[in-house]
Chains A and B, each alone.
Chain A
Amino acid sequence: MDSLIVLLIPLLPLIGFIISGTLNKQANHTLINGLTCGSVFVSFLLSVILFYQLQSGSAPISYKLLNWIYVGALKLDLSFTVDALSSIMLLIITGIGFLIHVYSTGYMHDEPDYARFFSYLNLFVFFMLLLVMGNNFVVMFVGWEGVGLCSYLLIGFWFKNNAYNDAAKKAFVMNRIGDLGFLIGMFLILNKFGSLNYQTVFDLASHAATNDPTITVICICLFIGALGKSAQIPLYTWLPDAMAGPTPVSALIHAATMVTAGIYMIVRTNVLYTLSPDAGFLVAVMGVATALFAATIGLKQNDIKKVLAYSTVSQLGYMFAALGVGAYETGMFHVITHAFFKALLFLCAGSVIHAMSGEQDIRSMGGLRKKLPITHITFFIGTLAISGFPPFSGFFSKDEILAKVHEYNGGFMLFTILAITSVITAFYMFRLYWLTFWGNFRGNSHQASHLHESPKSITIPLILLAVFAASAGLIGLPHLFHAPHLLNNFLAPVIINAPTLEASASFEIALIVVSLIVLALVTYITYQIYVAKARIPVADADEKGISKWVANKYYIDELYNALITQPLQAVSTFANNYIEKYVIDGTVNSFRWLTNTGSLLIRQIQTGSIGLYIFGIVIGIICMFVFKFYLA
């Protein structure tokens, strides 16, 4: 029974995809809604059942579908295992996925390609479930590629706009770079451990020596995969561009689930990372650097979704910082809380964009709190959560990360940068909040007359997510409160040999107090700037000096363009103009010439004269006799 549930969880969204994918544009919306939302909802219920079984101490539940790849010593099954880590990811994917499906029924209501949108969403849920449920690296890789594909399809959902198609291609190509790292990592694992099955690999690895260079290389290769999927330096530039997709997609794929696949992978392979402190340090440094870098860009963005996109990159950096220091549970904790509050913020942004008739520039917003009361309150909760105000969820996970990084040997520098980053995070989030919901309305009269609160299908998911964004932190209370850390206890079977990092109670208190004071200060300052003095960000053309540099995202896209894209295009132009034209076409054409000329000569023989043919036959027979009896 249990194993059947394991099979059904990914199967239902797949069925939803297949059926809704075959429907045409005239298909009934109610049918599509029931099919796609229903399949994800049933998967969610089944995930809850599995979660409670695991919670009550059940062993991981497996289902083997078939013998998949049996080549020589390599034996791979297409099989699924749900353990504590997968179970948490299942709840996030299906739970938040369901809320976003419901939200989409309202948000995409006027979309002509309604069925296509929902079939893609279901396909995404299927692949994401495959990614987290597989019990070997190859199943994870299939899911990994599948979510990349869905990301591509959904970013370019409005494919008539060329800029959106470019963004989709960019996301796909950036991810491919990371995937190469993942693949090489997989090959190395197979070479070193002779298997790709999690259980076998981790059992062997738990007896391996620390600082084994091969394991370090494996960890770095896998981390490169994570860099691409989870949008970290240097492969982060696709995520802000991915905001071209519909807003529910940004919430589901580019905030709550797919981009956390990299974190999931590292937590899954925590045994290997624990064996390689060097790789761990690299992960932490990259995470911290990305957190700071993306947060500073977020300060100067004026597109509501772009701010949230850079904030996602920055928060993912926090998670990697936690993973790098060996605090895998903490990384997962931030994945969970981030999934709630970032999905909430994106969906609120969608609600705002919906009300603003498609306008995304916060300079044209302002004063929306009166017209959109529910969106306003829920966005405010999301802002508090991401900024880390106690007792909202982001506070617990972020403070735990800060505390763990502080305890890490030599982590003081990383801790300082992360602390500064969290101040910057609060600053740009409150900037966004004040500019959007306070002050006077700055849009045109057409937009003003259209302002309205979104329908129930949009507001109900917002309210539910807001409740979780506010309360999800309770699953990981700090030691200070002498309450059990529910998440750590639940995840304990999955995390093997990880170092223990415990901050002292006094440090935790200091952290709470200082962060409260700083956050209050940031809130006050941003209020003064953006509401009291009503300083609206200047037009892009008027930016000067450093702020222009930041507003243009440090010109990283231009740098990549000049360093990588342009030389590559020069090479391909050369190849097209010379190698293609003369070498490849030349070879093919010369064969064509040879055949033509040769046949021109040979076909002279075919005269149509029967006498000649018979003569030929007789001569041939004589030749055969001569050859047979006199020459051989």
Chain B
Amino acid sequence: MNIISEVGINSYLWLAAILFSIGVMGVLFRRNAIIILMCIELMLNAVNILFVAFSVMHNNPAGQIMVFFIMAVAAAEVAVGLAILILMYRNMGSVDIDTMKKLKW
């Protein structure tokens, strides 16, 4: 029973594209570092959806294995990212990325 034949690959592509775009826009326009981190997760998951969808469509489990890798890396990334955020908050009293402008010439 193939799920692709019932819903169609296009829907998955649209879903992934919309999720990815929301992520990109969030990263671009939100100033709150936590939100930015969440948007990055959103982009990663958009990609995950594509992987899974194509994996089923082509009947090739390699795409699903890739998803697990991405999830593990994303978890690690969030751990590091949140640690940085905590330190940032302790030092600056805020998680607004516009307050972090010291690294320049």
Which residues of A are interface residues toward B (Cβ below 8 A)?
Answer: 603, 606-611, 614-615, 618
Residue pair B105, A606 in contact (C-beta under 8 Å): yes
Interface stretch of the complex, out of B8-16, B23-31, B54-62, B67-75: B23-31
Residue pair A611, B97 in contact (C-beta under 8 Å): yes
How close is A600's CB to chain B, nearest CB, in angstroms?
A: 10
Residue pair A614, B101 in contact (C-beta under 8 Å): no
A602 nearest in chain B by CB position: B105
| Prevailing SS type, chain A contact patch | helix
Interface mask (B66-105 → A, CB under 8 Å = 1, otherwise 0): 0000000000000000000000000000000110111111
For this complex, into which size category does the number of interface residues on chain B fall?
A: 10 to 19
| Residue among B24, B97, B105 making CB contact with A610, cutoff 8 Å | B97
Residue pair B103, A608 in contact (C-beta under 8 Å): yes
Residue pair B24, A611 in contact (C-beta under 8 Å): no
Contact residues, B14-39 vs A (CB, 8 A)? 24, 27-28, 31, 36
Residue pair B102, A608 in contact (C-beta under 8 Å): yes
A610 nearest in chain B by CB position: B97
| Residue among B98, B101, B105 making CB contact with A603, cutoff 8 Å | B105
B97 nearest in chain A by CB position: A610
Give the top 9 A-B pairs by smallest Cβ distance, nearest first: A608-B104, A608-B101, A610-B97, A603-B105, A608-B103, A606-B104, A606-B105, A607-B104, A609-B101
B30 nearest in chain A by CB position: A611
Residue numbers in A under 8 Å from B28 (CB-CB): 611, 614-615, 618
* Number of A-B residue pairs with CB-CB distance less than 8 Å in the complex they form: 26
A621 nearest in chain B by CB position: B24
Residue pair A609, B105 in contact (C-beta under 8 Å): no
Residue pair B24, A618 in contact (C-beta under 8 Å): yes
Residue pair B100, A608 in contact (C-beta under 8 Å): yes
Bound-state CA distance A610–B104 (Å) is: 11
A607 nearest in chain B by CB position: B104
Residue pair A611, B98 in contact (C-beta under 8 Å): yes
Residue pair A611, B31 in contact (C-beta under 8 Å): yes
B31 nearest in chain A by CB position: A611
Bound-state CA distance A609–B82 (Å) is: 20
Known: A607-B101, A608-B100. 17 other contacts (CB 8 A): A606-B104, A606-B105, A608-B101, A608-B103, A608-B104, A609-B98, A609-B101, A610-B97, A611-B28, A611-B31, A611-B97, A611-B98, A614-B28, A614-B36, A615-B28, A618-B24, A618-B27
Residue numbers in B under 8 Å from A603 (CB-CB): 105
Residue numbers in B under 8 Å from A609 (CB-CB): 97-98, 101
Residue numbers in B under 8 Å from A606 (CB-CB): 104-105
Bound-state CA distance A609–B99 (Å) is: 9
Residue numbers in B under 8 Å from A610 (CB-CB): 97, 100
Bound-state CA distance A520–B105 (Å) is: 94
Q: List 24 A-B contacts (CB under 8 A).
A: A606-B104, A606-B105, A607-B101, A607-B104, A608-B100, A608-B101, A608-B102, A608-B103, A608-B104, A609-B97, A609-B98, A610-B97, A610-B100, A611-B28, A611-B31, A611-B97, A611-B98, A614-B27, A614-B28, A614-B36, A615-B28, A618-B24, A618-B27, A618-B28
Residue numbers in A under 8 Å from B103 (CB-CB): 608
Bound-state CA distance A615–B24 (Å) is: 9
Bound-state CA distance A606–B104 (Å) is: 6
Residue numbers in A under 8 Å from B102 (CB-CB): 608
Bound-state CA distance A611–B98 (Å) is: 7
Bound-state CA distance A603–B31 (Å) is: 24
A617 nearest in chain B by CB position: B27
Residue numbers in A under 8 Å from B101 (CB-CB): 607-609
Bound-state CA distance A296–B29 (Å) is: 100
How close is B15's CB to chain A, nearest CB, in angstroms?
A: 20
Bound-state CA distance A611–B104 (Å) is: 14
Bound-state CA distance A608–B101 (Å) is: 4
Residue numbers in A under 8 Å from B97 (CB-CB): 609-611
A604 nearest in chain B by CB position: B105
Bound-state CA distance A394–B36 (Å) is: 103
How close is A327's CB to chain B, nearest CB, in angstroms?
A: 82
Interface mask (B33-51 → A, CB under 8 Å = 1, otherwise 0): 0001000000000000000
Bound-state CA distance A618–B36 (Å) is: 14
Bound-state CA distance A618–B23 (Å) is: 11
Residue numbers in A under 8 Å from B31 (CB-CB): 611
Bound-state CA distance A152–B102 (Å) is: 62
Residue numbers in B under 8 Å from A615 (CB-CB): 28
How close is A599's CB to chain B, nearest CB, in angstroms?
A: 9
Bound-state CA distance A131–B31 (Å) is: 81
Residue numbers in B under 8 Å from A618 (CB-CB): 24, 27-28
Q: Which of B36, B100, B104 has the most CB of A within 10 A?
A: B104
Bound-state CA distance A614–B102 (Å) is: 16
Bound-state CA distance A607–B105 (Å) is: 8
How close is A602's CB to chain B, nearest CB, in angstroms?
A: 10
Residue numbers in A under 8 Å from B105 (CB-CB): 603, 606
How close is A624's CB to chain B, nearest CB, in angstroms?
A: 14
Bound-state CA distance A286–B103 (Å) is: 78
How close is A617's CB to chain B, nearest CB, in angstroms?
A: 9
How close is A618's CB to chain B, nearest CB, in angstroms?
A: 6
B101 nearest in chain A by CB position: A608
B36 nearest in chain A by CB position: A614
Bound-state CA distance A615–B28 (Å) is: 6
Bound-state CA distance A611–B100 (Å) is: 10
How close is A107's CB to chain B, nearest CB, in angstroms?
A: 69
A599 nearest in chain B by CB position: B105
A609 nearest in chain B by CB position: B101
Bound-state CA distance A603–B102 (Å) is: 14
Bound-state CA distance A615–B100 (Å) is: 16
Bound-state CA distance A607–B102 (Å) is: 9
